Homo-oligomer: A and B are copies of this chain.
Amino acid sequence: MQPQSRDCRFAGKLRPWISYYKRRQSRAPNRQLTVLRCCCTVTEMAALRLLNFWAMLVTLSVCNGWLFENFGSYRNREADEVALWPLPQKIQISGAAFQLSSAGFQITHANGSTAGPSCSLLQNAFRRYFDYIFGNARKQGKNQQKVFDSELQELQVLLTAKDPECDGYPNLKTDESYQLEVDQPTSVLKAANVWGALRGLETFSQLVYEDDYGAHKINKTSISDFPRFAHRGILLDTSRHYLPLKAILTNLEAMAMNKFNVFHWHIVDDHSFPFLSRTFPDLSQRKGAFHPYTHVYTPSDVKMVIEFARMRGIRVVAEFDTPGHTQSWGKGQPDLLTPCFSGSSPTGTFGPVNPILNSTYDFMTRFFKEVSTVFPDAYIHLGGDEVDFSCWKSNPDIQKFMDQQGFGQDYKKLESYYIQRLLDIVSATNKGYMVWQEVFDNGVKLKADTQLHVWKENPQYQDEMARITAAGFYTLLSSPWYLNRISYGQDWQAVYKADPQNFNGTAEQKKLVIGGEACLWGEYVDGTNLTPRLWPRASAVGERLWSDENVKDINSAYNRLAKHRCRMVQRGIPAEPLYIGFCPHEYGGL
């Protein structure tokens, strides 16, 4: 028999006892306690488990009036079914379990909530999570069931902000926190706005499990939760391969299940330009896209992605990477790219964007004006990585320009010249910008709110994070999270262990880390394999960016993530297995 609940303040008082048990017992934390973890250390948890009945009585009296109904029948197995992912910041789960029936349970707007049925974002979320909870077993007809004492009848969603942002877009400063009190007959999910409510609904849905008889149950639970980082992203690359809309939407669904909040859409690159621009349709229509009709994202498609994401609390940050990575741009926009030379003759090939022509900046002004209206997010990712100078070097006009500007042979200065002008253009659209780390490395003058995206593995990314934050800039990490790279075995573990704040720096520096992104570059990925390759490996990044920094026990993570991936499978996401085993409801196969 084991204690029914864990209050970490209580755990603190038990530390003398714990160190006694620590000396006697050094076994690993018990799997079944995983979900009961809060602010206690692993050892404290293991020790708590070993406490005798006396300690349980103490627990009863200390834990803030927390009640332990159904005391005798408490079973760890049931609690173990609840594999929360990512783990909330603070959680108490009681052994008391309530039933939920599809006919008797409803999610409603609480009295006094600033949102009501006209908040379609919330209404859609209610429907989505109701479906997740009851799956295909949803019954038709009115509630004619007998209500049992232990039945959970309602989850009331209470929004408190004057503007709950039903029709808004999430942003970097969005408050995603929520409080969830699961009790019968009525549970309450409290949040400032719809974004916190979405996170809380996901957690609520994860708390529901099926008992041996297939009945839906949820334990009495108290959760207070908020994200560790504000920017928790997934990068998908739609240039190396075109990703069908359905694959993108499925990924957004999976992101919401893992509390990600940024879809970084690396929409164009060297290999194809699938973004159908209204201002410059030739970019995709004249061989820039793999195919002008079947392999493009029309304005309607883009709108749908943005709205689908918004409904799940996900920002869509588009990346239009220049001056490198632009081969496909050149097909529909003559004179945009630099002609490469061999001696005094043009080779017929082209290099990066031509930075010395006024027409380039006229084009960029009009293009980014469109982009800034198509994508509502406050930020645009401008790329700026991997600029190959060899073509610039070969071009006589560029050499002349370098001389005129006094750049000598320092092509980083030319790159900076271009980027600086581009940043001015984008700033004029009232957008903030994200750029890859090279823009910082090459000494471009940046606005204070610029976000620098660290992606290189060498030199060590920790040093780069330290340098960027020492210079006072915001940064986010991707280096250890290039999930396109695969290897045999449980490579999610290395992904899970990386931490964006694990570098030498002051507390002030650490605060400049806004989060990170898992990147799935598209060289070897398309609609056939994207989803199982990304999930649940990206889930490991999801927990790292949401949960407390001390949540890093790999065994606990394995147990919860294996179940969470089965939950994703049951919800229709073909997330691949971590290792040997099975899901109660397997993916049907293809």
Seen from chain A, the residues whose Cβ lies within 8 Å of a Cβ on chain B are: 240-248, 250, 271-272, 290-291, 294-295, 484-489, 522-533, 569, 573-582, 584, 586-590
Given A486-B486, A487-B488, A531-B590: A577 touches B242 (CB 8 Å cut-off): no
Cross-interface CB contact of A526 among B531, B533, B573, B576, cutoff 8 Å: B576
| Residues of chain B within 8 A of A576, CB atoms compared | 524-526, 528-529
Given A241-B577, A582-B242, A582-B295: A587 touches B485 (CB 8 Å cut-off): no
| Residues of chain B within 8 A of A586, CB atoms compared | 242, 244, 294-295, 526-527
- CB-based contact B589/A574 at 8 Å: no
Q: Closest chain B residue to A295 by CB distance?
A: B582
- CB-based contact B587/A526 at 8 Å: yes
Output the residue of A291, A531, A580, A588 with the most chain B CB within 10 A: A580
| Residues of chain B within 8 A of A523, CB atoms compared | 579-580
- CB-based contact B487/A250 at 8 Å: no
- CB-based contact A528/B244 at 8 Å: no
Distance in Å from the Cβ of A261 to the closest Cβ of chain B? Answer: 22
- CB-based contact B527/A590 at 8 Å: yes
Beyond contacts A244-B589, A294-B586: 16 other A-B pairs, Cβ-Cβ < 8 A, are A241-B581, A241-B582, A246-B588, A246-B589, A246-B590, A247-B588, A247-B589, A250-B589, A291-B584, A294-B584, A488-B524, A524-B576, A527-B587, A529-B577, A531-B589, A531-B590
- CB-based contact A529/B272 at 8 Å: no
- CB-based contact A532/B524 at 8 Å: no
Q: Closest chain B residue to A272 by CB distance?
A: B582
| Residues of chain B within 8 A of A531, CB atoms compared | 528, 589-590
Q: Closest chain B residue to A577 by CB distance?
A: B526
Distance in Å from the Cβ of A587 to the closest Cβ of chain B? Answer: 4
| Residues of chain B within 8 A of A575, CB atoms compared | 528
| Residues of chain B within 8 A of A487, CB atoms compared | 486-488
Cross-interface CB contact of A525 among B247, B533, B577, cutoff 8 Å: B577
Cross-interface CB contact of A587 among B244, B484, B532, B582, cutoff 8 Å: B244
Q: Could you tell me the distance between the alpha carbons of A485 and B488 in the complex, rounded to whole angstroms?
A: 5
Distance in Å from the Cβ of A214 to the closest Cβ of chain B? Answer: 13
Q: Could you tell me the distance between the alpha carbons of A410 and B106 in the complex, rounded to whole angstroms?
A: 69
- CB-based contact A240/B580 at 8 Å: yes
| Residues of chain B within 8 A of A272, CB atoms compared | 582
| Residues of chain B within 8 A of A290, CB atoms compared | 581-582
Q: Could you tell me the distance between the alpha carbons of A271 and B240 in the complex, rounded to whole angstroms?
A: 39
Distance in Å from the Cβ of A312 to the closest Cβ of chain B? Answer: 17
Q: Closest chain B residue to A528 by CB distance?
A: B574
Distance in Å from the Cβ of A525 to the closest Cβ of chain B? Answer: 7
Cross-interface CB contact of A524 among B484, B579, B590, cutoff 8 Å: B579
Distance in Å from the Cβ of A485 to the closest Cβ of chain B? Answer: 5
Output the residue of A487, A526, A581, A588 with the most chain B CB within 10 A: A526
| Residues of chain B within 8 A of A240, CB atoms compared | 580
Q: Could you tell me the distance between the alpha carbons of A528 and B484 in the complex, rounded to whole angstroms?
A: 17
- CB-based contact B590/A250 at 8 Å: yes
- CB-based contact B532/A588 at 8 Å: no
- CB-based contact B587/A528 at 8 Å: yes
- CB-based contact B528/A532 at 8 Å: yes
- CB-based contact A574/B590 at 8 Å: yes
Q: Could you tell me the distance between the alpha carbons of A486 and B487 in the complex, rounded to whole angstroms?
A: 6
Distance in Å from the Cβ of A569 to the closest Cβ of chain B? Answer: 6
Q: Could you tell me the distance between the alpha carbons of A291 and B585 in the complex, rounded to whole angstroms?
A: 11
Q: List 6 tightest A-B contacts by C-beta distance, closest first.
A: A247-B589, A527-B589, A529-B532, A528-B574, A290-B582, A246-B589
- CB-based contact B529/A580 at 8 Å: no
Distance in Å from the Cβ of A398 to the closest Cβ of chain B? Answer: 28
Distance in Å from the Cβ of A79 to the closest Cβ of chain B? Answer: 22
Q: Closest chain B residue to A580 by CB distance?
A: B240
| Residues of chain B within 8 A of A489, CB atoms compared | 524
- 15 A-B contact pairs sorted by A residue (CB < 8 Å): A241-B582, A245-B589, A247-B588, A271-B580, A290-B581, A291-B584, A295-B582, A486-B487, A486-B488, A487-B488, A523-B579, A526-B582, A527-B574, A528-B576, A529-B533
Q: Could you tell me the distance between the alpha carbons of A282 and B245 in the complex, rounded to whole angstroms?
A: 47
Q: Could you tell me the distance between the alpha carbons of A524 and B525 in the complex, rounded to whole angstroms?
A: 18
Q: Closest chain B residue to A487 by CB distance?
A: B487
Q: Could you tell me the distance between the alpha carbons of A247 and B488 in the complex, rounded to whole angstroms?
A: 22
Distance in Å from the Cβ of A116 to the closest Cβ of chain B? Answer: 35
Q: Could you tell me the distance between the alpha carbons of A304 and B320 in the complex, rounded to whole angstroms?
A: 51
| Residues of chain B within 8 A of A525, CB atoms compared | 576-577
Q: Could you tell me the distance between the alpha carbons of A573 and B528 in the complex, rounded to whole angstroms?
A: 8
Q: Closest chain B residue to A565 by CB distance?
A: B528
Distance in Å from the Cβ of A135 to the closest Cβ of chain B? Answer: 15
| Residues of chain B within 8 A of A486, CB atoms compared | 486-488
Q: Could you tell me the distance between the alpha carbons of A523 and B489 in the complex, rounded to whole angstroms?
A: 9
| Residues of chain B within 8 A of A247, CB atoms compared | 588-590
- CB-based contact B291/A243 at 8 Å: no
- CB-based contact B580/A522 at 8 Å: yes
| Residues of chain B within 8 A of A574, CB atoms compared | 527-529, 590
Q: Could you tell me the distance between the alpha carbons of A107 and B220 in the complex, rounded to whole angstroms?
A: 66
Distance in Å from the Cβ of A80 to the closest Cβ of chain B? Answer: 17
- CB-based contact B528/A291 at 8 Å: no
- CB-based contact A569/B528 at 8 Å: yes
Q: Could you tell me the distance between the alpha carbons of A554 and B569 in the complex, rounded to whole angstroms?
A: 37
